[in-house]
Amino acid sequence: MNPAILEDCPPILKDYLFYLETIKGRSPRTVESYYIDLRTFFRFLLRYKKITDVEDFEEIKIASFDKEILKTVTLSDVYEFLNYTLSTRENNANTRARKVSCIRSFFKYLTTKINFLEENPVLYLETPSLKKSMPRFLNLEESQELLISDEDYPDKIRDQCIITIFICCGIRLSELTGINLSDLKDDSIRILGKGNKERFVYTNEICREAIDKYLTIRNTMVVRHPEDKNALFLSRQGRRISPRRVEQIVTERLKAAGLDGLGYSTHKLRHTFATLLYEYGDVDINILKEILGHVNLSTTEIYTHVSNHQIRDAMQKSPLNSNTNKNEIK
């Protein structure tokens, strides 16, 4: 866990974050997002309950937060907090829903895991209604354009391998940076997903070619730190490549392909994989669920939106859309 987080945390929050990391198996990035949301909530409580007079909200320190304050929290207090995040911080529904999930998880821990609270004040806390929208994704032509690059630069083979794995395997950013050399099999990659759940994703021919080409370079690279010796993707500094660097690489490759400024990102490449596989591969949604490493089928369903040409083709298959039927009707 980031040392800076530990310095800023009161003991009860520090224990909770360790619980998320060591028992629940949450990734460092997820733990940090929980910390940020709960830090905002703690700061709000200190101001709302008039325990601090610090004017700048972002300067309120929570390291000395008295855990007894949590025993005074009511459902109304949490609704006041959500109103604050909406009216003052202008958080959208998705961000507020994430904060609700975080607060509910924290108070469940306080109530059922360490028995600090006798009753859970947020047991009936509702999640803000979310607008269901179509996920953004690259179409087939754009995906092919992204996979082909005429540009020549030092890290081209590594970067193209990264892009190919994203589009052909649909894995998450954290899963890609976590791949080790020992995870590579003949036609699959062992992936360690959310909650330390292991699964295998199978590679197609173009993906295997990209990996094999990169491995000829990777096997000659100098690894600077022993803990990174098994990492598949390395930075120029000989360290396991960071999620932030991968995000930059994807942004750079999108720009080179003329696809920048369209809202695409590493996660949109996951959307792209799932959408194209469902649309062109005639894949059952339950199989898609396993490929993507989802726990709930409802999560997978957002990837199975039907494209316009599928709707058009379906309409053409109507039994009324034939010359025979037209003649019979006349």
List, by residue number, the catalytic residues: 172, 194, 267, 270, 294, 303
202: closest CA among 127, 309, 277, 105?
Answer: 277
13-28 b/e with 16+ CB inside 10 Å = b?
Answer: bbebbeebbeeeebbe
- How many residues comprise the chain? 330
Tokens representing 147? 């996979």
- Residue pair 91/85 in contact (Cβ under 8 Å)? The answer is yes
Q: CA-CA distance, 316 to 307, in Å (whole number)?
A: 15
